[in-house]
A and B are shown apart, each in its own frame.
Chain A
Amino acid sequence: MAISGVCRDVSILSVAPVGPHGEQYGCYFLELDNPGFPPAVAGQFVMVRPEAFGSDPVWPRPFSICRLTPEKLTLFVQACGRGSDILCRLKPGERATVWGPLGQGFALEPDVPTVMLAGGVGLAPFVEYVATHPAPANLSLVFGHRQPRSCYPFDAMAKTIRATAFEEKTPADLPQFIALLEKTVAEFAGGLILACGPRPFLVTVARLARRFGARAQVSLENRMACGVGGCLGCVEKNALGNYVQTCTEGPVFWVEELKLSEDA
């Protein structure tokens, strides 16, 4: 696997809550100077470690590229732990070490009807996917979320492509969402299915894709330390029972490449 990437120290340009309730629900856009990245493939990711981490937490944090322009790199971050809490409190001008673009992104088949299935913060890579797709008319989005819809970059996407959002208010809503996924996977069985979200969501998508014989890719969010293939901490079992590295061979995999069970 050819490994490439750029590692630079850059400035934080802004940290802004997404929508009117972004701060309350901990949903932020983090904008940084473009570290000199070559053009990326949607679904590729970056590692971010702000100076503010000091020696704790030790690990950088991985994020899908939400948007990459020649000027800036935008990440969609949900404050949900030690690292992301610090990231969402950074001030403009603070420094962060960023490396990327890393890993393998989503397949791009402009003429093929493509549906993006996103769960929560897993919407992030699809912002870039829509922005760089040459034929957005072929794109659809099904988005499941728990925080208010305005906390995600959904509405802007819904202006340019066919998009459906489903709010899971309580766990009792889940079967209804799975039914929606089932209907969608069946509809796109002859097209291309791309999924990003929590592991149980991806396991469901993989199961449905197998059932309907659909071509589907999933983007895994395995915990990783280095992002470049050095630690072997983020591995996933492939269909042959061997471990593959999520950081370099993924995070996007074809469903048939993986075992993808509930526990890694």
Chain B
Amino acid sequence: MTVDTSVRLPGLHVKNPVMTASGTFGYGLEFAPFGDLRSLGGIVVKGLSLLPRLGNPMPRIAESPSGMLNAIGLQNCGVEVFLRDKLPRLPFTETPIVANLYACDADEFAELAGVLSAAEGVSALEVNISCPNVKAGGIAFGQDPAMAGRLTEAVKKRAGDKPVWVKLSPNVTDIVSIARAAVLGGADALTCINTLTGMAVDIRTRRPRLANIIGGLSGPAIKPVALRCVWQVCQAVSAPVIAVGGIASAEDVLEFILVGAHAVQIGTANFMRPDMAFRIAKRLPVLMEELGIKSLDAYRGTLEVPAS
């Protein structure tokens, strides 16, 4: 049996659903020694802002049970350096490169979308409306449906023919209402979920373990939360969902496809071994064959919920 791992997303046909999550895979180039970047379904690069950002002071990361907290503060080289120095070295003709956008207000987001959508090597724009680390905004967009909708509209207007993905925060009362608002605002797909806000302290020094005090929790610990969010959002909206949160194996990938996701992103698991995403992309068709799954389209959203 040959299996079909390909996935159709709005404006984008990917060879497999295994992508890498923003902020966990650098600009892609860092991981090139450990696997063939072209074997991935997509690469979502480190969040980009109009100007370079220094990021937060150290310490920026802390380990937690089956997970980690980060407060990097969106340190990045800025969109100009990315387009000039990084993008040309990425295999963008063979694997979609997705730019992750970070800005402090809607106008800035729109300007960034304009710059990135004009770049030939960028296949899609992922809007970070949920990063909890930077005090000056970001979080507010993702927590208010009206603001999330307006922001999506503003980005979409400047995105040309590039698909716009909106990355949702789980730190909300009702993720479905934000998802609906983003889709109404024109989102082509939803990335689900960003990190959960968390905290770690040291009882001896009496200090927080992160200089920023609060950080984003990620890793296997959050997989059940991600699975619940993806399932709820898939029930509510017709736009494709790209699942992210604690995925560390091909089995995990299928769990998210089962609850309705179109594709997935590997995040913190890239730190567990730098060839993780490549291995999962390679293992997925083997697992599908073992389970008799002919295509992801046939398997997607087939979760059977027993009648109570």
Contacts and interface: CB of A to CB of B under 8 A. Distances in A.
A230 B25 contact: yes
Contacts of A180: none
A99 B278 CA distance: 15
A99 B30 contact: no
A91 to B, nearest CB: 21
A225 B57 contact: no
A35 B72 CA distance: 31
Nearest to A241: B54
A233 B219 contact: no
A211 interface: no
Contacts of B274: 5, 7, 99, 226-228, 230
B60 A235 contact: yes
Given A55-B220, A58-B219, A242-B54, A233 B273 contact: no
Contact of A3 (B25, B29, B272, B275): B29
Interface string A41-69: 00000000100000111111000000000
A84 interface: no
A150 to B, nearest CB: 29
B63 interface: yes
A232 interface: yes
Contact of A226 (B29, B60, B220, B271): B271
A235 B56 CA distance: 10
A223 interface: yes
Interface string A203-235: 000000000000000000011111111111111
User: Which one of A99, A231, A235 has the greatest number of beta carbons of chain B within 10 Å?
Assistant: A231
Interface SS of A by simple majority: loop
Given A235-B55, A235-B60, A264-B59, A60 B272 contact: yes
Chain A CB count within 10 A is highest, among B32, B70, B273, for: B273
A57 B67 CA distance: 7
A236 interface: yes
Contacts of A222: 58
A57 B32 CA distance: 25
A263 interface: yes
B26 interface: yes
B22 to A, nearest CB: 11
Interface in B155-201: none
Contacts of B248: 55
B65 interface: yes
Nearest to B76: A232
Given A7-B274, A49-B272, A233 B33 contact: no
A59 B271 contact: yes
B66 interface: yes
A225 B34 contact: no
Task: List the 4 closest pairs (A to B, CB-CB), nearest first.
Answer: A264-B58, A233-B61, A229-B30, A55-B220
